[in-house]
Amino acid sequence: MGTSDFAPDKIWADLQQAAGVQFTVTLEPFFVNITVTPDDLVPILKVLQNRLGMNYLANITSVDYGAEFEIIYHLYAIPDNSRKLKVKTRVPRSAAQLDSVFPLYPTADWQEREIFDLMGIRFNAHPNLVRVLLPDDFKGHPLRKDFGKEEQ
Amino acid sequence: MLKTDQYTINIGPQHPSTHGGLHAEALMDGEIVKDVVVHLGYVHRSVEKIAESRTYTQFIPYASRLDYLASHLPCLGYVQAVEKLLGVEVPERAEYIRVILAELSRIASHMIFVGSLAIDLAATTGLVYCLRDRERIMDLFEMSSGQRLIAAYMRIGGLSADLPEEFFPAAQSFLTDIPRMIEEYNGLITGNEILQARCKGVGVLTAEMALAYGVTGPNLRASGVAYDLRKADPYGIYDRFEFDLPTGKAGDGLDRLIVRLKEIEQSGHIVRQALSQMPEGEIRSKVPKLLKPAPGKEVYHRIESSKGELGFYLLSDGSEKPARLHVRAPSFINLMVLPLISRGGRLQDIITNIATLDPVLGESDR
């Protein structure tokens, strides 16, 4: 249900043109997957929000892949639920930062703080990027795979 | 104009109204709230990190400890996420029992909501009535799993055991009594003049604000948005049941209470249907002892818990342990609007707002 009739090539071509950037689209059983570069993330989310009505950013999460971190955004439209989007981007471990999506989706506020807190990824222009679950003087980011293994 | 000094008041973490380790720092101007800063983490157990060193099956008891007021719901969300990852089918009978326990959990959680709202607003008797009725659900849970509060009854591919015979008459008699319970709550709590004064027009959350901040569940519905994953994106066998989605208009504390009271009735309605439609049969499909999903496979599965959208993100690296587990905790995200709906109100309204947003800190802190 949903995903196949939702992804005709034309819609995506129009979206790419509107956003002025390229992105890769793949169909998965439960989601339409969009992979972007970190710089293109905010322009693309803006287009998805305005043109496709993706008004609900359900979840943001991050994965440690060693040399890179992946940040995943799960987007839906309320009340129409036929569109299920997953936007993915990767940042290098050595420069773990990308733009905050808070101006588009205020729900990103604490979710980005959580990723900063536990995974150590910085979100540029976030209004209040401080730890949310761990104490302020905590050292390190526990969800990183090398947490507790490296010499501090 | 009379000038007053600004000062801060700490609410919690050690305070009966904070629902388990919530620390809200209120910046006050006289008696008016200027802002609220929420400090979380007092119940942080690093559940997501723990998951990386447990097998998929071993994590089930941790899932039930996320929302300890409705433990079957996080368990259900987690096992369904793993089932999606592996492509496991669940026997019909198990699906029905899952729905019965999930909805009973929702009722239990909402009863705690009603009772704790009452006691937060100094109506101590209200809590006692709700706990008395919730006790019967706890007894049902004890019959089914041996655990009252934090049951790990769900299994990947089904359930740990079938329901015992004595469960059914006890469940039926509980369902029969729901209208009487609601009537009692309405007479004692909802209709109480003081409670109405403390909740009406307090903590107004508009539909736009709720959507922007990702507020889900009864809190969103109280703001007038008829959105419920059981209907919008049905999981399990929820598409087979008939029930209404109660919504509010004002989005204030009173609406959040009334929506939940109505949801108790609707959940009872679902349980009644599930009990009458439930077939005989297996309660667990055959799954290997050690589960190893294909490497690189990931899933985001969400259910409508008593607090809102409870999501599980799982990523497999091909081993018997997840490479990454992330819990999208509705309590965490719903709490984000606490400062917004409290600004401009009075100090005592913060208590109403915390109670009516219904966070459970085990889930928000993880």
Angle between helices B167-185 and B253-277 (to 10 degrees): 160
Q: Do A63 and B212 touch (CB under 8 A)?
A: no
pLDDT for A3: 46
Average pLDDT across chain B, whole number: 90
Specify whether the CB–CB gap between A118 and B22 falls below 8 A.
no
Q: Which of A88, A87, A84 is nearest to A7 (CA)?
A: A84
pLDDT (tens digit per residue) in A102-148: 999 999 999 999 999 999 999 998 999 999 999 989 988 999 988 88
| Inter-chain Cβ pairs, chain A and chain B, closer than 8 A | 79
Pair of tokens at residue B206: 């508009």
Does position B217 have pLDDT exceeding 90, yes or no? Answer: yes
Angle between helices B124-145 and B167-185 (to 10 degrees): 170
How many CA atoms does the CB half-sphere of B69 hold within 13 Å? 26
- Collapsing DSSP to helix, strand or coil, B36 comes out as strand
- Nearest residue of B to residue A128 by CA position? B37
pLDDT for B291: 85
pLDDT for A1: 38
pLDDT confidence bin for B59, thresholds 50/70/90:
very high
Pair of tokens at residue A97: 């930062």
Q: Do A135 and B366 touch (CB under 8 A)?
A: no
Residues 6+ positions from B187 with CB-CB distance below 8 Å: none
Q: How much is the average pLDDT of B73-101?
A: 93
Give the one of A81, A86, A142 whose C-beta lies nearest to B46's C-beta: A142
Q: Pick the residue of A1, A84, A110 with the most B CBs within 10 A to test the interface with B by mutation.
A: A110
* Interface contact B45, partner A, CB < 8 A: no
Roughly how many angstroms between the first and final C-alpha of chain B, as a whole number? Answer: 46
C-alpha to C-alpha distance for B132 and B181, rounded to whole angstroms: 10
C-alpha to C-alpha distance for B246 and B217, rounded to whole angstroms: 11
pLDDT for B219: 94
Specify whether the CB–CB gap between B366 and B49 falls below 8 A.
no
pLDDT confidence bin for A150, thresholds 50/70/90:
low
- Nearest residue of B to residue A2 by CA position? B233
- Nearest residue of B to residue A79 by CA position? B227
pLDDT confidence bin for B17, thresholds 50/70/90:
low
Q: What does the angle CA B243 – CA A4 – CA B212 come to, to the nearest 5 degrees?
A: 55
Write the DSSP string, B314-351: EEE-SSSSEEEEEEE-HHHHHGGGHHHHHTTSBHHHHH
pLDDT for A74: 93
ipTM above 0.90, yes or no: no
One-letter identity of residue A25? V
Does position B298 have pLDDT exceeding 70, yes or no? Answer: yes
pLDDT for A8: 53
Does position B119 have pLDDT exceeding 50, yes or no? Answer: yes
Q: What is the pTM of this model?
A: 0.89
Residue B200 burial (CB < 10 Å; 0-12/13-18/19+)? middle
One-letter identity of residue A106? P
Q: How much is the average pLDDT of B93-106?
A: 94
* Interface contact A23, partner B, CB < 8 A: no
Pair of tokens at residue B298: 């990931």
Q: Do B41 and A135 touch (CB under 8 A)?
A: yes
| More confidently predicted of B15 and B48 | B48
Q: Do B226 and A59 touch (CB under 8 A)?
A: no
Return the domain boundaries, chain B: 6-365
* Interface contact A118, partner B, CB < 8 A: yes
> Could you say which DSSP state residue A141 is in?
-
CATH at residue A38: 3.30.460.80
Residue A150 lies in a domain: no
The domain tally of chain A equals: 1
pLDDT confidence bin for A4, thresholds 50/70/90:
very low
* Interface contact B168, partner A, CB < 8 A: no
Residue A131 lies in a domain: no
Q: Do A78 and B227 touch (CB under 8 A)?
A: yes
Residue A138 lies in a domain: no
Please tell me the CATH code under which domain B6-365 is placed: 1.10.645.10
CA dihedral B251, B252, B257, B263 (to 10 degrees): 0
Specify whether the CB–CB gap between A91 and A121 falls below 8 A.
yes
pLDDT confidence bin for A28, thresholds 50/70/90:
confident
Cα–Cα distances in angstroms (integers) from residue B167 to residues B139, B150, B155, B281, in the given order: 9, 18, 19, 17
pLDDT (tens digit per residue) in A45-104: 888 888 888 888 999 999 999 899 999 999 988 877 777 888 999 999 998 999 999 999
Q: How much is the average pLDDT of B174-179?
A: 94
Q: Do B336 and A107 touch (CB under 8 A)?
A: yes
Q: Which of A65-74, A121-130, B17-26, B101-110 is least confident?
A: B17-26
pLDDT (tens digit per residue) in B260-290: 999 999 999 999 999 999 999 889 888 888 8
> Could you say which DSSP state residue A120 is in?
-
Query: A19-24 — which CB contacts under 8 Å span 24+ positions?
Result: A19/A43, A19/A44, A19/A46, A19/A47
Q: How much is the average pLDDT of B206-214?
A: 92
Specify whether the CB–CB gap between B277 and B96 falls below 8 A.
yes
Residue A32 lies in a domain: yes
Residue A30 lies in a domain: yes
How many CA atoms does the CB half-sphere of B125 hold within 13 Å? 8
pLDDT for B261: 94
Residue A49 lies in a domain: yes
Give the one of A59, A79, A110 whose C-beta lies nearest to B313's C-beta: A59
Pair of tokens at residue B165: 């015979």
Q: Do B49 and A143 touch (CB under 8 A)?
A: yes
B87: how many CB neighbours lie within 10 A of its CB? Answer: 10
C-alpha to C-alpha distance for B78 and B64, rounded to whole angstroms: 9
Q: Which of B313, B338, B342, B337 is nearest to B327 (CA)?
A: B313
Residue B315 burial (CB < 10 Å; 0-12/13-18/19+)? buried
Q: Are strands A97-99 and A122-124 parallel, antiparallel or unpaired?
A: parallel
pLDDT (tens digit per residue) in B65-80: 898 888 899 999 999 9
Cα–Cα distances in angstroms (integers) from residue A137 to residues A133, B197, B204, in the given order: 12, 42, 35
